[in-house]
């Protein structure tokens, strides 16, 4: 029998990393969901013989994976760029300590901010904390670099960071699968602790290992030169390599697989053999700055790439066009870079919005009705910041809503000496509350605040695509587990006023908000209903509009429910009063919110007497 | 052959990622290099969904740039207009004229464009209009529109019918396998006039 040819599969960057981790013997992995990193851990958890978990936040995930590596197993922590901020307290110390089993931090950046509130460039973390940094450019490399990273981690005794971006994470390419190497576990070696006075010695040692790696990088196959003409030489890494290869295929390329540390000798050799040297990199001029600091003439930002937004092929084409036609190549002002295609100007945008049946819709309706301003948090509840709601005073980071609200309250008290302060409400999702909201709630109690915290418990991590968390009663691998008791937890930290309401009952939400915001005490309102997208959630009978009773007041359209539209979608921009509404039975989940706001009782359940479920 | 660029665009729930996955697998099975990129982070929340598929001897970037798509499958009328600029001159557009009205139109903030086919024609695009609604009604599941459109598209690609059937069968779970093949075949046989 002949040897079977290796299997080829179409894998996304995330799937390829998971596959790489499996093939190269990673046995323990942890993370917290965050677009575009989430699918790595979901995929990895499906392989046999591995342990994978969603941790409450990225720092816990990182610490857990570190512990597994200290124990001698290969381990991995996965997170999005903003999550690395949360884990950074531990990442900062890790290179001082070294590893035992190979350790990977898989970090997914989001240039263009497709699903993020910033587009920070986490390559700086690798420079900042002294982590070797690999940047794959396609799915095949994503898989291969996992193996390379683990070997480097073990050989040079450092945690290794693999950085992907949205385009790599969510693009698919052909990947040749390999066999799984048998996981090896190294014996537990030594205690890992650092603090005065040993930290300076460890710092010195860390820099020495990095220097050794730098020498190794000069000859390593993951940094390679592809000679083309000698007119233009391009230094690039990661996904930008693929784009540059399309824009200017005739150029010579130095493609860096590892961007920290840099192979300075290789860069000098490459630079000396091309007439014009350019760096093609996304976001910040990290490579460009270091190459300039080596005393080498190089161009990049403002010439062929921008600092803002996803790498723009159009900008790059223009830049190379000018360069090759001998035109002026001075750096141009930062252009507004479009990351999401909007098409012709007069077309209606199709902005993401709350889904039909979203349990957050009623909360924002009531906040708006009561003219209350709330601080918001990360997740689907952030839709409350934009029209038609616009009820969120702030929207910052995981868990920030509660601290922000307490700040609003304290500032008012100082400014007015306690007279006539407006009530402060913080809105936070269940997963986010567990992630980073609990310490802030403790602060409200400890420092005698009277913030009303609304925990919007939709029983999942919604925005990232329905991941389990400590409040769902299920683990990443689908096993049943203990479920957090929010009410009990809040009571334990000292909140005395706690109540739970049904997210689909506007009157309950309203009554709770009126009572709690007029009480000078910390309070928690748990607003509960499962996310309408969760599989297994019972869909109720769709509602429909009684054409006899509907007067076309269109109050229900202000709920911005995708299931509600006008009888005639009006080819003119002018809104015409009196046009009746209709409900799409395929979209409607029967949440009944619209029927509760209809002043004429014209929205009725298609089956049952009192509506689908209420 | 050169690289073939296909873009499929529409709204969350229309099965765009699945349909383009099937296409990518068909191309890969012919020994071609394939890359595919998509934005789906907010798809379930009424946002737009799009997927780029590029296949040929060697493909670097998965991203199709404006004016370079050989083919554009638009699953919704408004999205057809939004993405029309991506089509190369002489490129093929397959258009499902069904409307999915965005809430911002319902709120009266924007108007839904009228006469989409006419506006496309003004841009020099003679779209193949495929109203999938009667077909999916017959098949009993609106979600099969993606396979109908893919079936129409398949006539403009060189791959054998057997290759398509094989990949559709291996892609879908058994419960929905044959209905997807059926929807594809109805698209493939659709009278495009």
Nearest to A101 by CA among A158, A174, A40, A177: A158
CA A424 to chain B, closest CA, distance in angstroms equals 29
Provide the pLDDT for residue A343. Answer: 60
Mutation target vs A (from B61, B111, B119; most A CBs, 10 A cutoff): B61
Res. A499: pLDDT tops 90: yes
Domain assignment present for residue B57? The answer is: yes
Task: Test A114 with B25 for CB contact under 8 angstroms.
Answer: no
Task: Write the CA distances from A9 to B27, B96, B160, integer angstroms.
Answer: 12, 31, 20
Provide the pLDDT for residue A570. Answer: 60
Token pair, residue B75, equals 């699953």
Nearest to A210 by CA among A294, A98, A73: A98
Domain assignment present for residue B193? The answer is: no
Token pair, residue B59, equals 């493909």
Task: Test B45 with A36 for CB contact under 8 angstroms.
Answer: no
| Total-model pTM | 0.95
Nearest to A256 by CA among A407, A137, A385: A137
Where does the pLDDT of residue A539 fall: very low under 50, low under 70, confident under 90, or very high at 90 and above? confident
Provide the pLDDT for residue A610. Answer: 42
Res. A147: pLDDT tops 70: yes
Provide the pLDDT for residue A459. Answer: 96
Task: Test B24 with A569 for CB contact under 8 angstroms.
Answer: no
Res. A577: pLDDT tops 90: no
Task: Test A350 with B79 for CB contact under 8 angstroms.
Answer: yes
- Strands A258-260 and A133-134: what pairing? antiparallel
Provide the pLDDT for residue A189. Answer: 73
CB-side neighbour CA atoms (13 Å) of A311: 29
CB-side neighbour CA atoms (13 Å) of B185: 11
Q: If you measure CA to CA, which chain A residue comes closest to B42?
A: A352
- Strands A425-429 and A374-376: what pairing? parallel
Contacts of B28 in chain A (CB under 8 A): 8, 10, 174
Tens of pLDDT, residues A332-377: 545 544 444 556 668 998 888 899 999 999 999 999 999 998 999 9
Angle between the B145-154 and B174-188 helix axes, to the nearest 10 degrees? 50
Asked if B170 has any chain A CB less than 8 Å from its own CB, the reply is no
Q: DSSP 3-state assignment of A105? A: strand
Q: Over range A54-70, report the average pLDDT.
A: 97
Q: Profile chain B (193 residues) by mean pLDDT over runs of 10 residues.
A: 92 92 97 90 70 97 95 96 95 95 88 92 95 96 96 96 97 96 97 82
The total number of structural domains in chain B stands at 1
Task: Test A342 with B33 for CB contact under 8 angstroms.
Answer: no
Asked if B37 has any chain A CB less than 8 Å from its own CB, the reply is yes
The answer to whether the CB of A314 falls within 8 A of the CB of B65 is yes
Provide the pLDDT for residue B50. Answer: 93
SS (H, E, C) B36-95: EEEECCCHHHCCEEEEEEEEECCCCCCCCCCCCEEEEEECCHHHHHHHHHHEEEEEEEEE
The answer to whether the CB of A129 falls within 8 A of the CB of A95 is yes
Contacts of A36 in chain B (CB under 8 A): 41
Task: Write the CA distances from A26 to A10, A49, A54, A257, A417, integer angstroms.
Answer: 22, 10, 16, 21, 58
Residue contacts between A and B (CB atoms, under 8 Å): 157
- Domains of chain A with bracketed CATH: 8-216 (3.40.50.970), 224-324 (3.40.50.920), 361-528 (3.40.50.970), 539-614 (3.30.70.20)
Contacts of A557 in chain B (CB under 8 A): 103, 106-108
**Whole domain around residue B63: which residue ranges?**
4-188
Mutation target vs B (from A82, A309, A348; most B CBs, 10 A cutoff): A348
Name beta bridge partners: A134. Answer: A162, A258
Provide the pLDDT for residue A536. Answer: 86
Average pLDDT, chain A: 92
Q: Over range A602-610, report the average pLDDT.
A: 73
Helices (H), strands (E): how many in chain B? 8, 6
Question: ipTM of this model?
Answer: 0.95
- Alpha-helical (H) ranges within chain B are 16-29, 77-83, 103-106, 116-122, 133-139, 145-154, 161-171, 174-188
The answer to whether the CB of A307 falls within 8 A of the CB of A284 is yes
Sign of CA dihedral A137, A138, A144, A145: positive
Asked if B61 has any chain A CB less than 8 Å from its own CB, the reply is yes
Task: Test A115 with B78 for CB contact under 8 angstroms.
Answer: no
Which candidate from B33, B78, B107 shows the least CB-CB separation from A347? B78
DSSP B14-33: S-HHHHHHHHHHHHHHTT-E
Domain assignment present for residue B73? The answer is: yes
Give CA torsion, residues A374, A377, A383, A389, to 10 deg: 0
C-alpha A46/C-alpha A478 separation (Å) is 10
CATH number for the domain spanning B127: value is: 3.40.920.10
C-alpha A40/C-alpha B108 separation (Å) is 41
Token pair, residue B103, equals 């809430």
Which candidate from A171, A350, A575 shows the least CB-CB separation from B48? A350
C-alpha A186/C-alpha A70 separation (Å) is 9
Provide the pLDDT for residue B164. Answer: 98
Provide the pLDDT for residue A342. Answer: 55
Comparing A451 with A345, which gets the higher pLDDT? Answer: A451
Out of A169-183, A346-360, A448-462, B169-183, which region has the weakest mean confidence (pLDDT)? Answer: A346-360
Tens of pLDDT, residues A95-109: 999 999 999 999 999
Where does the pLDDT of residue A614 fall: very low under 50, low under 70, confident under 90, or very high at 90 and above? very low
Task: Test A348 with B78 for CB contact under 8 angstroms.
Answer: yes
Domain assignment present for residue B107? The answer is: yes
Which candidate from B46, B48, B114 shows the least CB-CB separation from A571? B114
Q: If you measure CA to CA, which chain B residue comes closest to A344?
A: B82
Cβ burial A581-609 (10 Å sphere, 16+ → b, else e): bbbbeebbbbbbbbbbbbeeebbbbeeee
SS (H, E, C) A165-199: EHHHHCEEEEEECCCCCCCCCCCCCCCCCCCCCCH
What is the distance of C-alpha A48 from the center of its chain?
27
């Amino acid at each position: 029998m002949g040897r079977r040819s290796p299997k080829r599969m179409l894998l996304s960057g995330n799937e390829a990393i998971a596959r790489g981790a499996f093939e190269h013997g990673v046995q323990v992995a942890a993370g917290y969901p965050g677009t575009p990193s989430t699918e790595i851990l979901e995929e990895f958890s499906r392989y046999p013989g591995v342990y994978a978990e969603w941790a409450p936040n990225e720092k816990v995930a990182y610490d857990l994976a570190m512990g597994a590596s200290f124990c001698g197993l290969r381990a991995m922590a996965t997170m999005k760029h903003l999550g690395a901020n949360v884990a950074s307290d531990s990442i900062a110390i890790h290179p001082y300590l070294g590893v035992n089993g190979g350790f990977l931090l898989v970090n997914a950046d989001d240039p263009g901010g497709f699903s993020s509130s910033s587009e920070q460039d986490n390559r700086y973390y690798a420079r900042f904390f002294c982590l070797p940094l690999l940047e794959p450019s396609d799915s095949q490399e994503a898989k291969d670099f996992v193996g390379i990273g683990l070997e480097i981690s073990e050989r040079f005794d450092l945690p290794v960071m693999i950085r992907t971006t949205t385009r790599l994470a969510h693009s698919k390419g052909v990947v040749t699968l390999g066999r799984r190497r048998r996981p090896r576990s190294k014996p537990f070696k030594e205690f890992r602790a650092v603090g005065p006075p040993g930290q300076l010695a460890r710092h010195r040692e860390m820099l020495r290992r990095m220097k050794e790696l730098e020498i190794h990088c000069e000859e390593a196959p993951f940094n390679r030169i592809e000679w083309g003409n000698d007119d233009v030489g391009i230094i690039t890494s990661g996904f930008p390599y693929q784009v540059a290869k399309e824009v200017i295929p005739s150029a010579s390329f130095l493609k860096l697989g590892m961007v920290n540390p840099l192979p300075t000798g290789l860069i000098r050799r490459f630079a000396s053999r091309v007439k014009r040297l350019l760096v093609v990199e996304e976001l910040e001029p990290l490579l460009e700055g270091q190459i300039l600091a080596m005393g080498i003439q190089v161009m990049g930002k403002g010439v062929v790439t921008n600092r803002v937004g996803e790498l723009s092929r159009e900008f790059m084409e223009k830049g190379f066009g000018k360069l090759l036609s001998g035109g002026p190549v001075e750096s141009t002002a930062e252009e507004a870079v479009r990351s999401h295609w909007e098409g012709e100007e007069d077309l209606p945008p199709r902005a993401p919005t709350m889904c039909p049946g979203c349990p957050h819709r009623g909360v924002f309706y009531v906040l708006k009705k009561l003219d209350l301003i709330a601080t918001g948090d990360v997740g689907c509840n952030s839709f409350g910041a934009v029209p038609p709601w616009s009820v969120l005073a702030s929207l910052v980071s995981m868990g920030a809503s509660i601290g922000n609200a307490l700040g609003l309250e304290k500032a008012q008290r100082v400014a007015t000496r306690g007279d006539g302060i407006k009530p402060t409400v913080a809105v936070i999702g269940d997963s986010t509350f567990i992630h980073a909201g609990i310490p802030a709630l403790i602060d409200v109690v400890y420092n005698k605040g009277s913030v009303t915290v609304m925990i919007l418990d939709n029983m999942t991590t919604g925005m990232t695509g329905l991941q389990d968390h400590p409040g769902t009663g299920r683990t990443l691998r689908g096993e049943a587990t203990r479920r957090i008791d929010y009410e009990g937890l809040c009571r334990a930290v000292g909140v005395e006023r706690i109540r739970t309401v049904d997210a689909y009952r506007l009157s309950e939400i309203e009554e709770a908000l009126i009572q709690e915001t007029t009480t000078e005490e910390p309070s928690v309102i748990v607003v509960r209903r499962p996310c309408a997208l969760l599989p297994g959630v019972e869909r109720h009978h769709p509602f429909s509009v009684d054409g006899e009773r509907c007067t076309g007041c269109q109050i229900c359209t202000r709920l911005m429910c995708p299931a509600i539209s006008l009888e005639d979608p009006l080819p003119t921009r002018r809104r015409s009063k009196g046009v009746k509404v209709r409900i799409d039975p395929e979209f409607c989940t029967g949440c009944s919110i619209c029927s509760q706001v209809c002043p004429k009782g014209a929205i009725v359940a298609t089956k049952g007497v009192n509506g689908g479920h209420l | 052959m050169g690289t073939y660029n296909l873009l499929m665009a529409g709204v969350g729930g229309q099965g765009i990622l699945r349909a383009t996955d099937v296409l990518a697998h068909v191309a890969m099975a012919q020994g071609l290099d394939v890359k595919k990129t998509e934005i789906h982070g907010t798809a379930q929340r009424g946002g737009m969904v799009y997927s780029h598929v590029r296949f040929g001897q060697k493909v670097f970037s998965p991203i199709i740039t404006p004016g370079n798509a050989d083919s554009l499958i638009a699953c919704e009328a408004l999205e057809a207009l939004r993405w029309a600029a991506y089509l190369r001159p002489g490129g093929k557009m397959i258009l499902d004229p069904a409307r999915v009205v965005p809430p911002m139109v319902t709120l009266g903030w924007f108007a839904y464009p009228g006469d989409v086919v006419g506006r496309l024609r003004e841009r020099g695009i003679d779209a193949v209009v495929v109203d999938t609604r009667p077909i999916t009604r017959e098949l009993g599941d609106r979600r099969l529109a993606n396979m109908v459109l893919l079936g129409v598209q398949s006539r403009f690609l060189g791959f054998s019918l057997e290759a398509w059937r094989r990949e559709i069968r291996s892609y879908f779970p058994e419960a929905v396998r044959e209905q997807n093949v059926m929807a594809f075949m109805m698209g493939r046989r659709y009278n495009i006039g």
